[in-house]
């Protein structure tokens, strides 16, 4: 069975491919499949957005299996924001730098012990003739006041991961792929597939 990964993000695709390649004959991205399908992510949860994306692309692409994810940063002191709006926290068309600048501004009065946060990732797998599988993974951390590290993307430079005493942007891709929210979600998906006997 071919798996269509509903993303063109090279970081995500690499991580997904490393974990799920044993379960599918071939994994292709939207770009590799020559597809351009825009899905409006208007859900209020990561799970709603991931499932909607997977189902819409499944229906329009003709593939037998489609995997989609939605992920973001949830900051406790901000009531879970930016959450599902992580990519557009500073408004549509803004970039990582603008999103991070707004986050730092909104958190400047929050003392260090209360800067708890987590990255969350929800993964949805839709396949022909089977019920969808939707799983969630998290990575717990603390929000830094200054960027640390050159790797990663998005909020990674501001996300301090206590077990490794580094920001996500200070980790190598191999290190991050062992502990990330996406890795935890994909591990749960792998367990679900194992239970099916695939």
CATH label of the domain that carries residue 58: 3.90.950.10
DSSP reduced 3-state for 120 = strand
How far is residue 172's CA from residue 159's CA, in Å, rounded to a whole number? 14
Beta bridge partners of 137: 121
Amino acid 37: pLDDT: 87
Strands 2-5 and 26-29: parallel
Boundaries of domain holding 9: 2-196
Judged against a pLDDT cut of 80, whether residue 190 lies above it is answered with yes
- Active-site residue flag, 70: yes
Query: Which of 38, 42, 64, 70 does the annotation list as catalytic?
Result: 70
User: What total of structural domains would you count in the chain?
Assistant: 1
Place 177 in a pLDDT band, splitting at 50, 70 and 90.
confident
Q: What is the pTM of this model?
A: 0.90
Beta bridge partners of 161: 166
Q: What is the pLDDT of residues 52-97, one digit of tens each?
A: 999 999 999 999 999 999 999 999 999 999 999 998 898 877 789 9
Q: What is the pLDDT of residues 105-155, one digit of tens each?
A: 999 999 999 999 999 999 999 999 999 999 999 999 999 999 999 987 899
């Amino acid at each position: 069975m071919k798996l269509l990964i509903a993303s063109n993000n090279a970081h995500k695709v690499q991580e997904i491919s490393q974990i799920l390649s044993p379960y599918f004959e071939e994994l292709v991205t939207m770009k590799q499949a020559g597809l351009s399908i825009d899905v409006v992510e208007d859900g209020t949860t990561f799970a709603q957005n991931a499932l909607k994306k997977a189902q819409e692309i499944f229906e329009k692409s003709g593939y037998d299996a489609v995997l989609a994810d939605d992920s973001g940063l949830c900051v406790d002191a901000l009531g879970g924001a930016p959450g599902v709006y992580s990519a557009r926290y500073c408004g549509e068309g803004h970039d990582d730098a603008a999103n991070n600048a707004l986050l730092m501004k909104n958190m400047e009065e929050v003392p260090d012990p209360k800067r708890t946060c987590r990255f969350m990732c929800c993964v949805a797998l839709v396949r022909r003739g089977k019920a969808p599988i939707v799983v969630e993974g998290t990575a717990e951390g603390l929000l830094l006041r200054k960027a640390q590290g050159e790797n990663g993307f998005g909020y990674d430079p501001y996300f301090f991961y206590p077990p490794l005493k580094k920001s996500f942007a200070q980790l190598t891709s191999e290190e991050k792929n062992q502990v990330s929210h996406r890795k935890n979600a994909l591990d749960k998906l792998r367990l679900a597939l194992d239970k099916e006997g695939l």
